[in-house]
Structure formats: C-alpha cells, structure tokens
Amino acid sequence: MGTFDGLNIGLSALYAQRRAIEVAGQNIANVNTEGYSRQRSEMVAESGPVVPALFSRYEGTGLGVRSVEVERMRDQFLEARAHREHGADAYLGQVQVTMDRIELAYAEPSDTGLASQLADFWAGWDDVGLSPTDPAARSQLLERATTLTSTFQQLDQALADLGAASVEQLTAAIQEVNAIAGRIADLNGNIRSATAAGLNANDLIDQRDLLAMQLAEHVGATVRPGEGGSLDVYVGGMALVRSTSVEQLTVEVGAGPAFAARVAWVDDGLTATVGGRAQGLLETNNDIVPAQRAELLAVAQRVHDDVNAIHVTGFDQSGAAGVPFFQMGPTGITVNPLVAGDPTRIAASSSPGAIDGSVAQQLAAQDGPDGLYREMVVRLGVAAQTTNRRVEVQDAIVQQLDAARESEAGVNIDEEMTNLVSFQHAYSAAARFVTVVDDLLETLIGMV
C-alpha cells in the first residue's frame, strides 16, 4: 500500500463516521415524530483490487470503509400484522361506541327509563281501578300514557338519529380515505423518482407507511410492495392505490325505511368490502340500529295489543263500550285521540252502568310488555359486555404488537447517545490517522 493510500483510507473513514453521526443526529431529532423509523448507516470494508495483474499484485490490507446505505429499521411482518390488528381494533371500537350510545339512550336502570314509565303506567290503571270515578286518577293515567308513548317515540328517534349520524361519519371517513389514497399515490411517485436517482427516501417512506396505517384503521386496507419502491394498497382485495394511480370510493344510501348504506367503487359501482371503522359504521346503520328499532317497536306493539285487547271489553263512565286505548301510526304508538281528549272514555268497568273498575284492575296486572322489554335490555347488555370484552382483548393485542414494532423501529435516546459517542471517537481516530499519514509523507518528502 502506498503512503497516499493511507490518506484515502483516513478520508473514507472520516466520510463514513461523519455520515453515521448525521444519521444518529437525525434519529435523535425525530425521537417524538409520529411514524418515524429508526435509521442506521450501513458500512462495508473497501477491499483492494481482486483482478490479478501480470507483473504486480496488491499487497495492501484494504482501501478503507464505505457507507453503502442508510437502512430503515422496519419489520415488514410486524407492519403487515399491525394493519390487520389495527383495522380489527378500529372496527370493534366503533361497535363499542354504538353500543354505549344505545345503552345511554335507554338509560336503564333509572327512575326515568322506559321500565319505570311502564311501571307508572300500570300503577295509573291500578289507581283508576281503585277509584273509577275519580277524575284526577283518570287524568293522571292519561298523562302517564302520553309520557310513555312519547318515550317510545323519542327512543325510536334517538336510534334513527344514531343510524343517520353513522352514515354521515361514514361519508366523511370515505372522503378522507380518498384524500389519503391520493397522498400515498403522490408519495409513491416521489419515492420511485428518489430510488431511481439513488437518493435516500426513508423519510418519505415513513410518511407513506403512516398514511397506510390510517387507511387500515379507516377501511381495513392491506398493502403490498410495488415496483420501484412504490406501495400498492388494497381494500377487500381490490386495488385502491396502485403505484401512482388511485381508485375512488363513495357511500350510497338506499331508499326505503331501512336506509341501508354501502361503500362502492366509483368506476364500476361494485360494493367495496371494507373493514376497520367503516365496517363498524356500516354495521351500526344496517344491522345494529334496525335490530334495536325492531325490538323497541315489538315492545310498543305489545303494549298496544295487550292494552287494547282488554280495554275494548270494558265500558266507560257513560256506559259506552270501550274503544282502542292506543293506536299505531307513522310516528309510532300514540294514545287514541278519542280517549286522550276525554278521560271519561277510559273503559274501566266490566259492564254498562257499573263502577267496579275491574277492567282497569286487569290492565294494572299486565306484565307482558315489561317482560319483553326486560329481555330486550338484557340482550343489549350481554351484547355490549361481549363487545367490551372483545375490545379489551383486541386492545391488548394491539398494545403488544405496537410495543414489538416500537422496539424494532422506535428511537431509543440512550442507544443513540451511545452510538453518537462511538462514532465521534471513530471520527477522531480517523482524523488522527490522517495526521499520522501526513507526518509520514512530510518526513518522506523531506528526505528526498
């Protein structure tokens, strides 16, 4: 090895260690940056010539060191699994929110819930049965009946509003998905250009991976490596992003009383199989809310049928035969206007002219609607508890997975400071080596 080769070795060491110091500084600077992946400067030894010469051979120890690339510390297996688990967690979290809001609407058990109002309604019949001629008891019964029907209507409207709100949230989420997909396509183009030019695109890749995780949470997206460093994103097996091209999604709401919604591809109109939060919102509007409204309607219908079946067998204060106490209309169950406007039309007696209150006593003993409502609330509670348990399990899985990802890609300040000191010493040693070689050259030149 010639003396001038020593200068090249020292210079290569200075370059390599300086780059390592810069990478460590970049890691430290981004310790709190969301989505940033720890980077590491990869170094390889520069060997001497390997092609044999006819009259000479290389007898040196090597030509120094070379920094080949800045490696991004990511485990692709963990990232792929993180997309699936975060999507499942977002779906369950949305279902949990839905169940919590439904339970909040029913507010059971409480003194103002539907169960309490049903009990008050039956107690009102008992008061009328005990005092069939008391106008106060009859008026109070009508007030409780009106309150009960209003509660049925309010609960049904609250459920309908929950479904409508889920569609609005779904529409906003899909619009955000389209915007994120466009940004990923732009980043794909930039990354491909940087990769083709031999430039470092790690920071751009971090930004793209962060956006891909957001898509996984929104619609359960999965990713696959594309050409030239690009990333293809799929939703339900269909490509949302392929290199720099993007497909659009939209939300369609059907007509009719159910107002079922779906997510569709804009180009061909086919239904997109989404996961994540979008799946939870779809399930809220299409399944959970309609099922709850149907069960609530069944309770109201039971109140309507049971009360009317007995009330029409009685007679009011004038001796006229009883009319249906309740009626079902477009807004749900309501008190029959004939009865609501005249408390004397309440058929409490078993025969014309009698003031025995026996029919009112029969109505006071009813428990069918209460039992049906209790069963409905129990089913709701069990479903909510099951969802909460699934969320707890999924949250634990996500936390463990994120911890594994953080250990692989996260920045550790202590580790980076240790590396920084190590690279600094190496840089100082390389500078000292250059000084020594320079002294050798000065001595050699002085001897000539």
Please report, for the chain, the start and end positions of each structural domain, with discontinuous segments joined by +. Answer: 3-73+415-447, 81-399
Task: Give the whole-angstrom CA distance, residue 212 versus residue 187.
Answer: 11
pLDDT in tens, 341-385: 899 999 999 888 777 889 999 999 988 899 999 999 999 999 999
pLDDT in tens, 123-136: 999 999 999 989 99
| Least confident residue range of 182-191, 280-289, 300-309, 348-357 | 348-357
Helix, strand, coil share of the chain (percent; to 5): 65, 10, 25
pLDDT score recorded for residue 3: 62
Percent of the chain whose predicted confidence (pLDDT) is above 90 = 70
For residue 318, pLDDT beyond 90? no
Confidence of residue 337 (pLDDT cuts 50, 70, 90): very high
What angle is formed at CA 39 by the lines to CA 226 and CA 403, rounded to 5 degrees?
Answer: 85
Confidence of residue 447 (pLDDT cuts 50, 70, 90): confident
Confidence of residue 258 (pLDDT cuts 50, 70, 90): low
pLDDT in tens, 145-180: 999 999 999 999 999 999 999 999 999 999 999 999
pLDDT score recorded for residue 112: 83
pLDDT score recorded for residue 353: 74
pLDDT score recorded for residue 152: 95
Burial group, residue 80, by CB count within 10 angstroms (0-12, 13-18, 19+): middle
Percent of the chain whose predicted confidence (pLDDT) is above 70 = 95
In whole angstroms, how large is the CA radius of gyration of the chain? 38
Question: What average pLDDT does range 214-243 have in this prediction?
Answer: 93
C-beta of residue 272 within 8 angstroms of C-beta of residue 282: no
Give the CB-side neighbour count of residue 28, counting CA atoms within 13 A.
14
pLDDT in tens, 108-124: 888 888 999 999 999 99
Task: Give the whole-angstrom CA distance, residue 221 versus residue 240.
Answer: 9
Task: Give the whole-angstrom CA distance, residue 345 versus residue 324.
Answer: 10
Question: What average pLDDT does range 327-332 have in this prediction?
Answer: 89
Q: Is 35 strand, coil or helix?
A: coil
pLDDT score recorded for residue 444: 78
Q: Minimal CA–CA distance to 331: which of 286, 300, 371?
A: 300
pLDDT score recorded for residue 60: 65
pLDDT in tens, 29-43: 999 988 898 999 999
Q: Is 42 strand, coil or helix?
A: strand
Sign of torsion, CA 266 270 273 279?
A: positive
pLDDT score recorded for residue 52: 65
pLDDT score recorded for residue 53: 63
Confidence of residue 138 (pLDDT cuts 50, 70, 90): very high
Task: Give the whole-angstrom CA distance, residue 17 versus residue 6.
Answer: 16
Measured CA to CA in angstroms, residue 366 lies from 9, 305, 339, 363, 410 at distances of 97, 12, 20, 5, 64
C-beta of residue 209 within 8 angstroms of C-beta of residue 266: no
Q: What is the DSSP string of 113-157?
A: SHHHHHHHHHHHHHHHHH-TT-HHHHHHHHHHHHHHHHHHHHHHH
48 vs 349: which has the higher pLDDT: 349
**Phi, psi (rounded to 5 degrees) for 324:** -55, 130
Return the H-helix or E-strand segment holding 85. helix 76-106
Task: Give the whole-angstrom CA distance, residue 328 versus residue 439.
Answer: 105
For residue 336, pLDDT beyond 80? yes
